[in-house]
Amino acid sequence: MTDGILSRLTQAVLEGDNEAAVRLTQDALAGGIEPLTLIDQGLVPGMDQAGEKFSSGEYFLPHLLIAARAMQESMEIIEPELLSRDEQVASEGTVVIGTVHGDIHEIGKSLVATMFTANGFKVHDLGVDVPIERFVACVRDSDADILGLSALLTTTMVVQRDIIEALSEAGLREDVKVLVGGAPVHAAWAEEIGADGYAPDAVAAVRVARHVLGRIPNSG
Ligand code: B1M
């Protein structure tokens, strides 16, 4: 039953069928399927398959857009469920997060932001295509502990490095831990550009943040 509903959800995202995605999400939650299982095993595989079809020339940009919209509508239902599981009172710290300049991919960044919120962090989500100066100003003004930089394109990964350099120029580099992520990003890149951490997914992002803040011994 679980497998069936998850694979139908994957198919609904792949086909950009909003109504089916929303209905299946509601049914799955009512049936007791965990929100993270729904995301990892239902929604994300649909987006990945849409990306593969785009790479092979079977899908075009509008297909990606409608797939993304179906995923986002499901996420709107899942997010309150994720947040309602947050029973923490004390704040774990402040996170500034956004997708870098030139890049409008939103879904992964928003998922990471939601996971931080669900885990007791105060989050300033700056959105997508965020100018470098905006990140720097928000880090300064919010006294952030973590700056999260998402990039989905090989052409925008380099902006992560530009932002780290801008933080140094503004005298803020020692005040904030920089976490990078996004599909083309990897640990060696994070090290090369002087980031403090890299996370492959939204759950790992919270774990790595706690690690770089010295809250847990290692990122696992
Ligand atoms: Co775009 N796109 N896209 N796209 N798109 C990719 C990324 C691509 C891999 C597709 C492909 O060719 N197979 C390819 C990039 C190739 C490359 O550079 N390596 C690509 C391209 C080429 C483009 C355009 C250039 C296409 C064009 O115009 N010709 C264009 C660029 C626009 C721009 O940004 N300037 C473009 C546009 C779009 C849409 C607007 C149509 C749409 C986005 C809609 C939206 O977000 N509202 C879109 C989509 C949907 C995708 C794919 C299919 C799916 C992305 C997604 O949402 N995945 C994507 C293919 C793919 O990734 N499989 C693709 C689901 C999401 C949950 O995963 O975002 O990876 P993800 O986030 C994960 C992790 O990466 C990580 O955690 C998240 C959750 O687990 N993570 C972090 C992300 N940020 C993190 C930050 C962290 C830590 C972890 O710390 C701070």
For 157-206, how does the pLDDT look when each residue is reduced to its tens digit (9 = 90+)?
999 999 999 999 999 999 999 999 999 999 999 999 999 999 999 989 99
pLDDT in tens, 102-123: 999 999 999 999 999 878 899 9
State residue 84's pLDDT score: 83
State residue 217's pLDDT score: 67
Cα–Cα distance for residue pair 208/196, rounded to 1 Å: 9
Q: Is the pTM of this model over 0.85?
A: yes
Pocket probe mutation, ligand 1, options 38, 105, 154, max atoms within 8 Å of Cβ: 105
Read off the pLDDT band of 220 (50, 70, 90): very low
State residue 1's pLDDT score: 60
Question: What is the CB < 6 Å shell around ligand 1?
Answer: 44, 47-48, 50-51, 54-55, 61, 64-65, 68, 97, 102-109, 111-112, 148-150, 152-154, 179-184, 199, 201-202, 205
Q: Which atom of ligand 1 is nearest to the CA of 48?
A: 63
Mean of pLDDT over the chain = 93
Smallest CA separation from ligand 1 atom 52, residue: 51
State in Å: Cα 12 to ligand 1 middle.
18
Pocket probe mutation, ligand 1, options 36, 64, 211, max atoms within 8 Å of Cβ: 64
Output the six-digit token pair for 153: 């394109």
Cα–Cα distance for residue pair 126/135, rounded to 1 Å: 8
Q: How far is CA 75 from the centre of its chain?
A: 12
Q: Average pLDDT for residues 65-85, to the nearest whole number?
A: 91
Cα–Cα distance for residue pair 117/107, rounded to 1 Å: 15
- Collect all residues with Cβ–Cβ distance below 8 Å to 104 and sequence separation of at least 6: 128, 129
